[in-house]
Amino acid sequence: MTAKGPLSGITVVDLTRVLAGPYCTMMLADMGARVIKVEPPGLGDDSRQFGPFIQGRPCYFGSVNRGKESIALDLKSEADRAVFEKLLERADILTENFRPGVLERLGYGWEHLHERYPRLIYASTSGFGHAGPARDRPSYDMVIQGMSGMMSVTGPSGGEPCRVGISIADVGSGIFTAAAVNAALLHRERTGEASRVDIAMYDCLLAMLESTISRYTMAGEVGGRMGSRHPAIMPFEAFATADGHIVLACGNDKMFGLLARALGLPELIEDERFRRNELRVANREILHELIEERLRGDRTANWLAHFDAAGVPAGPINSIDEALSHPQVAARNMLISVTDPVLGPVQIAGTPLKFSTFEDPPTRRVAPDLDQDRRAILAELGLA
Amino acid sequence: MTAKGPLSGITVVDLTRVLAGPYCTMMLADMGARVIKVEPPGLGDDSRQFGPFIQGRPCYFGSVNRGKESIALDLKSEADRAVFEKLLERADILTENFRPGVLERLGYGWEHLHERYPRLIYASTSGFGHAGPARDRPSYDMVIQGMSGMMSVTGPSGGEPCRVGISIADVGSGIFTAAAVNAALLHRERTGEASRVDIAMYDCLLAMLESTISRYTMAGEVGGRMGSRHPAIMPFEAFATADGHIVLACGNDKMFGLLARALGLPELIEDERFRRNELRVANREILHELIEERLRGDRTANWLAHFDAAGVPAGPINSIDEALSHPQVAARNMLISVTDPVLGPVQIAGTPLKFSTFEDPPTRRVAPDLDQDRRAILAELGLA
C-alpha cells in the first residue's frame, strides 16, 4: 500500500471557496489527490472568517480544508497569473465555484483553457449551473434550500419551514461534483479526452428530493412537513417513550412482524388495517397511537436493548456528543486527528470513503494557513 | 458523442434494494453504465411495495430505478446461482446493500469473489459498515438520522427534532458510494487492481455534518435546532415579509453591504455591532429584528425583484410544485420523461451530473418491471 488512494498522482488546482467546492476537493484529497488551494491575497477564502474561533483558529475552515496546500494569487495581476498558468500546466483538474462568468472574464473559461490545456478537467459547482435563465443569480445554500422545495418538506407538521441542520445544498453538490470528477478522470484515462463538469446546487437538491418529485409529477401530491415521519413508510418515525424518544424503522412486513411481537402486540400482524405497508400508511394515526401507548411504559434505553435482541431496527435521537461517543465511530476511524500549529492535535470528521486497497489514516494534514505553501510551490515551478 | 456517458461499457450487477444502493446504481446508469438489477423472485425489491401507486404503478420505485434492467434470481437455488455467477464473470462492479454477513453466508463475500473474479469491484453500502461493533445492527435511514445527530440539529428552535425531509442517510450514502465506485474504476483502469468499497450511512452523515463536528470537538459546542438559521453565518436565514417569508443569504461583508443598502438601511454597514460576520452572529437577534421590521413593509415578490436587481442573494420558500415550475428546471433538463408501459410518459427528476463530453438525454428508460429482462439476459449468457 504505497499509493495514498485511488487518486494518487492526480493534481487539483483548487479555486473553490466556502463550502460546496471545498467539500468536493476535501474528498479528492482524502482519496489521495494533491489539492493546491489558490486563494485571493488578503483574507483568502471567505470561510476563514466564519466562527467559532479557538485562539484565533477557525473551526469551520479547518473542517473542510484538511489535506490541502495553499497559495495566495491575485488572478488580476500579471505575475500571479503566470504562476497560476504554470500550475495549470501540471494540473489534472481545475475546480471552481465562482458565479458563472467570473472565470471567463479573467480569461480562464472552459473553452479557452480546454484549448490551451487539452487534458485539464474543469469542474464547476454553482448555484444554478452554467446554463439557463437563472445562471447569473447569486446563490448560497440557504437560498437553494428555500427555492428547491427542501425547506418545504423539512420541519414540524403544521409548523415553520426549517433548514436542514447542515448546508445540504453545498455538501450534496460537493459530493456530486466529486463523483462526476472521478467519472471524468476515468473517461480521460480511457480515451484521453477531458470533460467539463457543470454541477448546480439547485439540480442536486431536486435530484436528492427523489420520490418527493415523482409523488408530485405522478400522483399530484405536493409534499409538506411531517416532523419525523416518512411520507411512504410506516412505522418509520420517532415515538415518545417514558423518558424521551425512540426511532423505529420497519420498512417491510417482516420487520413490522418482529416489532409487533417485540411490543407484545402480535395481534397487530393479522389486523386488516396494518397487513401491508400501504395500509399502515393509510391508518398511520391509529397505529402510531397503539405503538406509542406501549412504548410510554418503559425508558428508551430499555426499549433499545429489547429491540436490539429482537432484530427490530430502532435507535435513539442522539446529540452530536452522543453520536460521536458511539464505539462505532472509533472502529470506523470517523474522528481523525490533525495537528494545528497553534492548538496542537484536534479532532475532525474522518472520510466515509473506505477502500480495501488503501489505508484510512487516523491523521491527516491540517488545513493550511493562507499562502502557507507559496515558497515550496514556487520552488517546484522553478520560480523561486 | 457515441458513448452514453463516462461509464459507457461498464456493467454493474446490482443486488441493492430500497434506496441507498439503488440511488447509487441509478447514478451509475445515468453516467452510462449498464445496470442489471438482480431481485428476489416473488415481490422483488422491497420498495416496489411503497406507495403511492397510480394504476398499480409504484411512484417510489420508479423514481430511483430508471435506466436499469431486472432479472429475478433466487441466490439459494443452484440454477439461479449459476446464472448469477455467469453475470459476475462479465461484470465490472457488484453493488449490494444487505446487512453485513448476508452475502458471505451465500458464498458471495468479497474475499471469495475477489479470488474468483479478480477484476470485479465490490461496493457495499450499509448502515454501519462492515467493521466495528455495530456492523450487524439492522438499520434504516430513520435510525441513522436519529443516531448520527442529524435530527438533533434539524427542526425549530426549542421544538421537536425533525427528520430531514428526504432520506438523507440513504441518498447521501448512495452518492458517496457512486463517488467511491468511480474512484475504484479509475484505480482499476490505471493499475488493474480491483477494490472493495465499504460505505456506511452512519459515517456519511457524520461526514456531512462537517462543521457541526468540529464545533463540538474544537469549541465544545453541542449544536441544537435553530429553525432556519445557520449557526455560523448571519444574515443567512428566513425572514417574515408582508405576505410570507423570504430567505436571505449574505455570507460576507460585501453582500451584507449590498443588503443594507437595498433595505435602505446603509447605517447598518458602519454599525459596530454588525461590522463583521462574527459580530453579526453575536448580535443576531437585534439584527434579525432590524431587517425583518423593514421586510414586513412589502410583499415577498416585490422584495425578490428588488434584491435581484441589487445583487443580494435571496429567494422564496417554494413548495415542490413551485420549485419544479422554475424555468431553470427545464433549461437544465432536471425533469426528464420515462415511458411507463401502463401510464405512458411520466416525469421524474433528471440527473445533476452534467458533462460537456456527453449528452444529457431528456428521456431515460423507465424503471423495469420485476424480471422483465430475464429472457434477453439469459439469451445473452447462452442459457436460453
pLDDT given at position B39: 98
Q: DSSP alpha helices (H): ranges in chain B? A: 20-30, 59-64, 78-90, 102-105, 110-116, 141-147, 168-191, 201-208, 211-219, 253-262, 267-270, 277-282, 284-295, 300-310, 320-325, 327-331, 374-380
Closest CB from B6, B137, B281 relative to A184: B6
Three-state SS at B142: helix
Cα A209 to Cα B171: distance, rounded to the nearest angstrom: 9
Selected for mutation to probe chain B from A27, A31, A175 (highest B CB count within 10 Å) is A175
Average pLDDT over residues B305-331: 96
Is residue B28 within 8 Å of residue B7, measured between CB atoms? yes
Count A/B contacts: CB-CB distance under 8 Å. Answer: 579
- H-helix or E-strand containing A293? helix A284-295
pLDDT given at position B123: 98
Cα A131 to Cα A141: distance, rounded to the nearest angstrom: 19
Of B187, B230, B245, B306, the active-site residue reads B230
Nearest to A291 by CA among A368, A211, A229, A346: A229
Cα B347 to Cα A331: distance, rounded to the nearest angstrom: 43
Q: Do A315 and B232 touch (CB under 8 A)?
A: no
Of A114, A187, A230, A288, the active-site residue reads A230
Q: Do A357 and B193 touch (CB under 8 A)?
A: yes
Cα B7 to Cα A187: distance, rounded to the nearest angstrom: 7
A119: closest CA of chain B, how far (Å): 13
Selected for mutation to probe chain A from B120, B128, B163 (highest A CB count within 10 Å) is B163
Q: Give the residues of chain A that fall short of pLDDT 50.
A: 1
Q: Do A354 and B159 touch (CB under 8 A)?
A: no
Q: Do B214 and A59 touch (CB under 8 A)?
A: yes
Look up cell 444574515; give the residue.
Answer: B235
Closest CB from B140, B160, B251 relative to A227: B160
Q: How far is CA B91 from CA B85, B86, B312, in A?
A: 10, 9, 50
Selected for mutation to probe chain B from A12, A147, A166 (highest B CB count within 10 Å) is A166
Q: Do B184 and A228 touch (CB under 8 A)?
A: no
Closest CB from A218, A247, A334 relative to B59: A218
Cα A48 to Cα A57: distance, rounded to the nearest angstrom: 9
pLDDT given at position A231: 85
Q: CB-based contact (8 Å) between B5 and chain A?
A: yes
| pLDDT over 60 at B233, yes or no | yes
Cα B318 to Cα B311: distance, rounded to the nearest angstrom: 20
pLDDT given at position A335: 97
Which chain B positions have a beta carbon within 8 Å of A208's beta carbon? 166, 168, 171
ipTM (interface pTM): 0.96
pLDDT given at position B51: 83
Give Cβ neighbours of residue B241 (< 8 Å, ≥ 6 apart).
Answer: B295, B296, B298, B299, B300, B303
pLDDT given at position A51: 83
- H-helix or E-strand containing A262? helix A253-262
Is residue B43 within 8 Å of residue B10, measured between CB atoms? no
What value, to the nearest 5°, has the Cα angle with vertex A20 and ends A175 and A73? 125
pLDDT given at position A140: 87
Q: Mean pLDDT highest for which of B138-142, B159-163, B314-318?
A: B314-318
User: CA A358 from chain center: how many Å?
Assistant: 22
pLDDT given at position B375: 97
Closest CB from B131, B203, B332 relative to A352: B203
Please give the backbone phi and psi of residue A87, each rounded to the nearest 5 degrees, phi first.
-65, -45
A55: closest CA of chain B, how far (Å): 10
Residue in chain A nearest B133 by alpha carbon: A328
Cis peptide before A52 (omega within 30 of 0): yes
Q: Do A343 and B218 touch (CB under 8 A)?
A: yes
Q: CB-based contact (8 Å) between B46 and chain A?
A: yes
Closest CB from A50, A328, A353 relative to B277: A50
Give Cβ neighbours of residue B184 (< 8 Å, ≥ 6 apart).
Answer: A6, A355, A357, B93, B121, B123, B194, B195, B197
Is residue B152 within 8 Å of residue B223, measured between CB atoms? yes
List all residues of chain B from 311 to 370 with a beta carbon under 8 Å from chain A: 311-324, 326-329, 331-332, 334-335, 343, 346-358
Q: How confident is the model at residue B2 (pLDDT cuts 50, 70, 90)?
A: low
pLDDT given at position A3: 80
Q: CB-based contact (8 Å) between B173 and chain A?
A: yes
Report pLDDT digits (tens) over B90-131. 999 999 999 999 999 999 999 999 999 999 999 999 999 999
Closest CB from B5, B146, B317 relative to A161: B317
In DSSP terms, A73 is beta-bridged to: none
Q: Determine whether B326 is an active site residue.
A: no
Please give the backbone phi and psi of residue A339, each rounded to the nearest 5 degrees, phi first.
-105, 105
What is chain B's mean pLDDT, rounded? Answer: 95
Q: Do A349 and B5 touch (CB under 8 A)?
A: no
Residue in chain B nearest A45 by alpha carbon: B252
Look up cell 461509464; give the residue.
Answer: B7
Q: Which three cell numbers stand for residue B337?
A: 420523461
Closest CB from A60, A143, A332 relative to B314: A143
Q: CB-based contact (8 Å) between B165 and chain A?
A: yes
Selected for mutation to probe chain A from B328, B355, B366 (highest A CB count within 10 Å) is B328
Ordered structural domains, chain B, with CATH: 11-208+343-380 (3.40.50.10540), 236-324 (3.30.1540.10)
* Beta strands across the sheet bearing B34-39: B68-72, B34-39, B11-14, B93-96, B121-126, B196-200
What value, to the nearest 5°, has the Cα angle with vertex A237 and ends B201 and B129? 15
Which chain A positions have a beta carbon within 8 Å of B5's beta carbon? 183
Q: Do A162 and B225 touch (CB under 8 A)?
A: yes
pLDDT given at position B1: 44
What value, to the nearest 5°, has the Cα angle with vertex B137 and ends B136 and B143? 150
Count Cβ atoms within 10 A of the Cβ of residue B111 and give its class: 0-12 exposed, 13-18 middle, 19 or more buried: exposed
Which chain B positions have a beta carbon within 8 Å of A168's beta carbon? 164, 168, 208
A79: closest CA of chain B, how far (Å): 27
